[in-house]
């Protein structure tokens, strides 16, 4: 997931006025199969250098695994190329402070994807939230701008800093205790070195700072995996999950949990006649929702109208979970998910932060389930303390909540596909 989502508590419970009923016995995903899929994705990341990010061997191996499972379950599978700009660091970044000396990558700072390459050496200048060009009024050319997260997207802060003549942009984040999470500018080509710095690192205005980023952005591609249980004619219900991880992390909760859920849906449905269902595994979500946006742009008007509902699965096994449905999605789908979820849940404001966004913009009814990223959960602790970090491994998943989310998703798809429409 691109970023943590602000939770909004909503009343839970069943909707006795909802006329939708399950067509026959509900499908029953099981925990052992879910864990087997998660274990395989974790193994792929460990074998292929620590992650499954778009454009890497780990992602290619993930595509191969997913397509094999889907075909074995009897689904019709297509692997579709998606053009994208691939960013990578050629050597580790270096950040040195006059007062504290050299900082350690990941533990103390991290360079976000699509940050520009270059060397910056100059005084630090504290600015406001960097969302307005006027925030840089006191910045001298070549100084390194220092701001904090929030207020606007990271790419906007970076663009404003470059236009103001900054040598680089430093952004202080929260303190996770486990390192600085991976992030992305989402927009290639801004051309300014950027570093995210843990808030525990003390910085002062006027301090001399040196930042070196050795990175390159090249044209390349990733892949979407699209699977149908029946020939592609007439109305279809869709569910999707992004298949890629962040660079430098195995992504077992984010978003192996969503991937495992959809694979179990495919296996549970098998060759049962439940109506038309399409499952999608998106590439490049962590770099800016690239795969899902490309897919929706490529649909004709008739093809868009044929999709009667889209359910999104992005982080559904968080270790300190707060189960939620999308409160800003289609209300009818939210009611259905609440009725099918066996326990209390909340609502979450999702905005355009995951793969449902392109479908919603195209007029497709959307909703989804979610258990949390870096928001505070029970006990005041993060819902996923390993969000976008190397520790997002198999041990980072709450298996009980994942099973409940998987069963809710399977039942919802069976209901929606059985009715043939969801509007």
Q: Of residues 79 and 422, which shows the higher confidence score?
A: 79
Same domain, 238 and 200: no
Same domain, 251 and 395: yes
Q: Is residue 285 annotated as part of the catalytic site, yes or no?
A: yes
d(C-alpha 193, C-alpha 114), whole Å: 9
Domain harbouring 139, CATH code: 3.50.30.30
Q: Is the pLDDT of residue 3 over 80?
A: no
Q: Which of 160, 188, 218 is the last residue of a domain?
A: 218
Same domain, 208 and 241: no
* Residue 227 near residue 75 (C-beta atoms within 8 A): yes
290 occurs within a structural domain: yes
Q: Which residues contact 319 (CB under 8 A, 6 or more apart)?
A: 253, 383, 384, 385, 386, 396, 397, 398
In this structure, the dihedral spanned by the alpha carbons of residues 80, 81, 82 and 84, taken in order and rounded to 10 degrees, is: 160
Q: Which of 153, 186, 218 is the last residue of a domain?
A: 218
pLDDT computed for residue 5 by the predictor: 39
* Residue 155 near residue 116 (C-beta atoms within 8 A): no
Matching residue, tokens 């050496």: 121
Q: How many CB atoms lie within 10 A of CB 379?
A: 7
d(C-alpha 18, C-alpha 339), whole Å: 9
Helix pair angle (31-47, 399-419), 10° resolution: 110
3-state DSSP call for residue 41?
helix
Q: How far is CA 161 from CA 140, 150, 306, in A?
A: 11, 15, 44
Helices (H), 164-286: 257-269
**5 backbone dihedrals φ, ψ, rounded to 5°:** -110, 140
pLDDT band at 376 (very low <50, low <70, confident <90, very high): very high
DSSP letter assigned to residue 45 = H
Q: Quick check: pTM over 0.85?
A: yes
pLDDT band at 20 (very low <50, low <70, confident <90, very high): low
d(C-alpha 370, C-alpha 347), whole Å: 9
Q: Is the pLDDT of residue 272 over 90?
A: no
Same domain, 275 and 360: yes
Same domain, 172 and 55: no
Kindly state the helix (H) or strand (E) to which residue 132 belongs, with its residue range.
none
Residue 96 structure tokens: 């040195």
Mean pLDDT of the chain: 92
Same domain, 176 and 150: yes
Same domain, 237 and 351: yes
271 occurs within a structural domain: yes
Same domain, 261 and 388: yes
pLDDT computed for residue 2 by the predictor: 53
Share above pLDDT 70 across residues of the chain, in percent, rounded to a whole number: 92
Q: How far is CA 142 from CA 26, 114, 233, in A?
A: 62, 20, 59
**239 backbone dihedrals φ, ψ, rounded to 5°:** -140, 145
223 occurs within a structural domain: no
Same domain, 150 and 33: no
pLDDT digit string, tens, across residues 58-87: 999 999 999 999 999 999 999 999 999 999
pLDDT computed for residue 92 by the predictor: 95
**Per the omega criterion (within 30 degrees of 0), is the bond before 128 cis?**
no
Catalytic residue, candidates 267, 285, 287, 375: 285
Q: How far is CA 33 from CA 29, 60, 74, 180, 389, in A?
A: 8, 22, 17, 32, 25
DSSP letter assigned to residue 133 = G
pLDDT computed for residue 189 by the predictor: 96
124 occurs within a structural domain: yes
Dihedral (CA of 103, 244, 242, 269) sign: negative
pLDDT digit string, tens, across residues 199-224: 999 999 999 999 999 999 999 999 99
Q: How many CB atoms lie within 10 A of CB 181?
A: 27
326 occurs within a structural domain: yes
Q: Which of 157, 189, 218 is the last residue of a domain?
A: 218
Residue 58 structure tokens: 């780990």
pLDDT computed for residue 22 by the predictor: 53
**136 backbone dihedrals φ, ψ, rounded to 5°:** -100, 20
Kindly state the helix (H) or strand (E) to which residue 169 belongs, with its residue range.
strand 168-173
Same domain, 211 and 241: no
Domain harbouring 415, CATH code: 3.40.630.10
Q: How many CB atoms lie within 10 A of CB 191?
A: 14
d(C-alpha 47, C-alpha 284), whole Å: 20
Same domain, 110 and 209: yes
3-state DSSP call for residue 93?
strand
Q: Return the closest-CA partner of residue 2 out of 401, 350, 406.
A: 350
Matching residue, tokens 């389930």: 369
221 forms beta bridges with 83
pLDDT band at 26 (very low <50, low <70, confident <90, very high): low
Question: Considering its fold, how many domains does the chain have in total?
Answer: 2
192 occurs within a structural domain: yes
Kindly state the helix (H) or strand (E) to which residue 335 belongs, with its residue range.
helix 331-340
82 occurs within a structural domain: no
Average pLDDT over residues 264-276: 87
d(C-alpha 140, C-alpha 144), whole Å: 9
- CA contacts within 13 A on the Cβ side of 40: 18
Biggest CA-to-CA distance, the chain: 69
2 occurs within a structural domain: no
Same domain, 65 and 130: no
pLDDT computed for residue 233 by the predictor: 79
Matching residue, tokens 């969503």: 258
Domain range for 133: 87-218
Average pLDDT over residues 131-137: 97
Average pLDDT over residues 332-349: 91
d(C-alpha 388, C-alpha 249), whole Å: 6
């Amino acid at each position: 997931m691109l970023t943590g989502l602000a939770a909004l508590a909503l009343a839970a419970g069943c909707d006795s006025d909802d006329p939708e009923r399950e067509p026959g016995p509900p499908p029953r995903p099981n925990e052992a199969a879910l864990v087997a899929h998660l274990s395989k994705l974790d193994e792929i990341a460990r074998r292929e250098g620590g992650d499954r990010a778009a454009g890497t061997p780990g992602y290619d191996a993930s595509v191969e695994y997913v397509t094999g499972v889907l075909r074995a379950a009897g689904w019709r599978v297509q692997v579709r190329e998606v053009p994208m700009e691939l960013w990578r660091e050629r050597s580790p970044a270096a950040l040195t402070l006059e007062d504290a000396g050299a900082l350690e990558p990941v533990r103390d700072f991290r360079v976000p994807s699509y940050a520009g390459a270059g060397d910056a050496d100059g005084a630090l200048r504290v600015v406001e939230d960097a969302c307005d060009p006027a925030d840089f009024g006191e910045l001298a050319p070549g100084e390194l701008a220092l701001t904090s997260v929030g207020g606007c997207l990271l790419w906007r802060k970076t663009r404003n800093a470059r236009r103001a003549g900054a040598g680089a942009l430093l952004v202080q984040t929260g303190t996770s205790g486990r390192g600085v999470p991976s992030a992305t500018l989402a927009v290639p080509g801004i051309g300014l070195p950027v570093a995210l710095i843990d808030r525990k690192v003390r910085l002062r205005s006027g301090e001399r700072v040196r930042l070196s980023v050795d990175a390159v952005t090249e044209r390349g591609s990733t892949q979407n995996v699209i699977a149908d249980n029946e020939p592609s004619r007439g109305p279809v219900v869709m569910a999707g999950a992004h298949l890629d991880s962040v660079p430098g992390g195995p992504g077992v909760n984010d978003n192996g949990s969503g991937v495992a859920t959809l694979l179990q849906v495919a296996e549970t449905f098998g060759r049962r006649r439940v109506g038309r269902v399409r499952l999608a595994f998106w590439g490049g979500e962590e770099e800016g929702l690239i795969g899902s946006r490309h897919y929706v742009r490529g649909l004709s008007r008739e093809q868009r109208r044929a999709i009667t509902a889209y359910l999104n699965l992005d982080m559904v096994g968080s270790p300190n979970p707060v189960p939620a449905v999308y409160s800003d999605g289609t209300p009818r789908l939210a009611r259905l998910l609440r009725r099918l979820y066996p326990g209390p849940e909340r609502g979450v404001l999702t905005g355009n932060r995951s793969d449902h966004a392109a479908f919603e913009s195209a007029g497709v009814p959307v909703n989804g389930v979610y258990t949390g990223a870096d928001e505070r959960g029970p006990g005041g602790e993060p819902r996923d303390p390993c969000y976008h970090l190397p520790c997002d491994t198999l041990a980072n998943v709450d298996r009980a909540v994942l099973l409940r989310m998987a069963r809710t998703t399977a039942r919802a798809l069976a209901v929606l596909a059985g009715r043939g429409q969801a509007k």
